[in-house]
């Protein structure tokens, strides 16, 4: 399924205990799927397995048509470059500008000399500026990340994913630390991007009312029990 996500009986074990067991889901291209469940249900583990930040111990995970569970080396690096990841804690460089942080989306493909000198390719700079405009922060492009509100920082993180030209965006509790208005704004933005760009969004949440308000589908996870 190009542009979508398919998970089949995915499992992950840490220190002899199951963090995720036999998870399965399908997220068609352009859909917004919310992952609900209590702490320990495996929401973060599932997202990290999909991005191959950790390797699953069993099962299959296809992201944008690529078998993430089976990739390695260059093929894995190329696949990761097409997956955006939005973290709860934003994962921004606090002393760098919003524009510099958005440019992080193409850091892996930027020549080292450009990174060292702080001279992005003109096309990348235009792309990053366009992404900031899209998330409503074009007028804050020069502001340092630590000068922005929580909601604005999360929008910069989304802009970074857009600069990647990602087909799939994985969001791990992206609104957990935001006030209600900022949380609604971030989720509405993600929802709009699924329609505008055909972006597939998997978003873990604790707030049931937000999942019902913005998601096309809700997948509920329960904590694995006992030994793997």
- Cβ 164 vs Cβ 82: under 8 Å: yes
**What's the pLDDT at 104?**
86
Average pLDDT of the residues in 188-214 = 95
pLDDT at 97: 94
Over range 187-209, report the average pLDDT.
Answer: 94
The confidence score (pLDDT) of residue 177 equals 87
Residue 72 CB neighbours (<10 A): 9
Q: What is the mean pLDDT of residues 47-73?
A: 95
Write down the pLDDT at residue 139.
96
Number of neighbouring beta carbons within 10 Å of residue 139: 10
Predicted local distance difference test score (pLDDT) of residue 82: 86
Q: Is-contact 166 102, C-beta < 8 A?
A: no
| 1-82+168-174+200-228: CATH architecture | 3-Layer(aba) Sandwich (3.40)
**What is the residue extent of each domain of the chain?**
1-82+168-174+200-228, 87-165
CA distance 130 to 135: 9
**Residue 108, pLDDT above cutoff 70:** no
Per-residue model confidence (pLDDT) at position 112:
73
Comparing CA positions, the residue from 146, 138, 180 lying closest to residue 162 is 138
Distance from the Cα of residue 188 to its chain's centroid: 15
* Distance linking the first and last C-alpha atoms of the chain: 29
- Token pair recorded at residue 44: 């973060």
pLDDT at 85 exceeding the cut of 80: yes
Q: pLDDT, tens digit, for every residue of 109-166?
A: 766 767 766 778 888 889 999 999 999 999 999 999 999 999 999 999 999 999 988 8
Mean pLDDT to the nearest integer, 41-68: 96
Residue 225 has pLDDT above 90, yes or no: no
């Amino acid at each position: 399924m190009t542009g979508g996500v398919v998970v089949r009986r995915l499992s992950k074990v840490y220190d002899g205990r199951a963090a995720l067991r036999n998870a399965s889901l399908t997220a068609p291209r352009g859909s917004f799927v919310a992952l609900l469940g209590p702490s320990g249900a495996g929401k973060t583990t599932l997202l990290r397995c999909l991005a191959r930040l950790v390797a699953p111990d069993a099962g299959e995970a296809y992201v944008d048509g690529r078998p993430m569970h089976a990739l390695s080396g260059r093929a894995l690096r190329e696949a990761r470059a097409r997956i955006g990841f939005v973290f709860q804690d934003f994962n921004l460089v606090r002393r760098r500008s919003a524009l510099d942080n958005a440019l992080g989306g193409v850091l892996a493909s930027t020549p080292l000399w450009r990174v060292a000198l702080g001279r992005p390719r003109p096309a990348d700079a235009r792309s990053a500026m366009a992404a900031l405009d899209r998330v409503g922060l074009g007028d804050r492009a020069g502001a340092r990340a630590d000068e922005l509100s929580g909601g604005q920082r999360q929008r910069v993180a989304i802009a970074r994913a857009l600069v990647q030209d990602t087909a799939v965006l994985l969001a791990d509790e992206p609104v957990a630390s935001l006030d209600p208005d900022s949380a609604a704004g971030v989720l509405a933005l993600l929802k709009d991007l699924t329609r505008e760009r055909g972006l597939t969004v998997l978003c873990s949440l604790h707030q049931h009312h937000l999942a019902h308000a913005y998601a096309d589908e809700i997948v509920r996870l329960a904590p694995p029990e006992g030994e793997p």
